[in-house]
Amino acid sequence: MTKPKSPKAGKRCPDAIPRPQHTQPHLRSPRRRDFKTELLALIPFLRAFARSLTGNQEGADDLAQETLVKAWQSRATFIPGTNLKAWLFTILRNQFYSDRRRTWRQAPWDQEAAERIPGGGEDQLFSAQLSDTARALRCLSDEQREALILVGAGGFSYEDAAGICKCAVGTVKSRVARARKALMEILDGDDTLGDVARPAGGDAAREIMSQLDSLSSPDVGALGGKRRPK
Amino acid sequence: MTQQWETTVSNEEKPTEKARAVRARQRAIGRELRRMYDDVAQEAVPDDFMDLLRKIDEAEESKGGKKVS
């Protein structure tokens, strides 16, 4: 059996959604419980990543739950000692794109165009509560958005992010760089968002900060509030 | 603040002041991104998730016939 190495040693799952395996007798053991415990601890991050992909809470939580089910079914293919978080994020990301492909097939309309309209499509209900940055994020391409979130917010290395997004490390780097540049352009004067995202020609940073004050709730101690493992 | 901003992200003509401003701005955006992400990660996990895990577990156990906890 594979021995757990250092947490950083693993390369993480190369293949997105591992085949479901139903009977894994060796997993009906304490190790199975460990897996579940780790899974539980990572739910907050699955939710956060899902939220950044979908742009809304309900869809994100559905996605995170689908991910949990898949992860649990596929747990035998997880290699202990490798990066479970990256493994889960890979599953979540695949699930996101496959769900969306299905949605497209069912309702063929120009979702891409809808997504580029701030507050359009799925974001509509939430747009009023979104900060400038959150709205600007919706204007990025999927590739840029996910790369930026993984590296810039999720704390993943470029290598891990490349594994999750199934692309080369250099590709992730350039996507992150382009995403940063694009975000700044959107926030600081590009008229893609027009008046929606940027009311006047004011100081965007100050604007963001003031919005943040009203957005972020200080009561972190609530149930299940989890700290980020390093 | 002028419109210079939007065109000078990778402009190297006047590296010093502008580049500094751009970097500062990028850092601010980075902080905001992390904050958005962390805000969600710090939310209480909805009960649905626990229910779901419990159900999965029960289903697995009844299938496997071996009790874990």
Give A80-134 pLDDT, tens digit per residue: 889 999 999 999 999 999 998 887 776 655 555 555 545 444 444 444 556 888 8
Does A10 have pLDDT greater than 50? no
Which range marks the domain in which residue B26 is found? Answer: 4-64
The three-class DSSP label of residue A138 is helix
Number of compact structural domains in chain B: 1
Would you list the domain boundaries of chain A? 29-108, 131-215
Does residue B69 fall inside a structural domain?
Answer: no
The token pair that represents A215 in the structure block: 């957005």
Do A228 and B29 count as a contact with CB atoms less than 8 A apart?
no
pLDDT averaged over every residue in chain A: 73
pLDDT of residue A108: 53
Candidates 3.50.50.60, 1.20.120.1810, 3.30.360.10, 1.10.1740.10; correct CATH number of A29-108?
Answer: 1.10.1740.10
Q: pTM score, two decimals?
A: 0.66
pLDDT of residue B69: 44
Q: Tokens 């869809």, residue?
A: A59
Q: CA dist A160 to A9, A43, A77, A86, A179, Å?
A: 11, 18, 18, 7, 18
Does residue B18 fall inside a structural domain?
Answer: yes
DSSP state, residue A76: G
Distance CA B22, CA A1 (A): 50
Residue of A22, A26, A28, A191 to mutate for B, most B C-beta atoms under 10 A: A28
Residue-level pLDDT, tens digit, chain B, 69 residues: 444 444 545 555 557 898 898 899 999 999 999 999 999 999 999 999 989 988 887 887 787 655 444
Q: Smallest Cβ distance to B66: which of A28, A40, A153? A: A28
Does residue B14 fall inside a structural domain?
Answer: yes
Does A9 have pLDDT greater than 50? no
For CA atoms A29, A39, A172, A154, give the dihedral sign: negative
Distance CA A72, CA A68 (A): 6
Distance CA A187, CA A181 (A): 10
Measured in degrees and rounded to the nearest 5, phi and psi for residue A130 equal -80, 145
Does residue B48 fall inside a structural domain?
Answer: yes
pLDDT digits (tens, 9 = 90+) for B40-49: 999 999 999 9
Q: Smallest Cβ distance to B35: which of A149, A190, A216? A: A216
pLDDT digits (tens, 9 = 90+) for A64-74: 999 999 999 89
Task: Give, in degrees to the nearest 5, the angle at Cα A47 between A43 and A49.
Answer: 115
Q: Smallest Cβ distance to B44: which of A68, A137, A223? A: A223
Does residue B16 fall inside a structural domain?
Answer: yes
Candidates 3.40.50.720, 1.10.287.70, 2.40.128.20, 1.10.10.10; correct CATH number of A131-215?
Answer: 1.10.10.10
Rg of chain B over Cα atoms, rounded to whole angstroms, equals 25
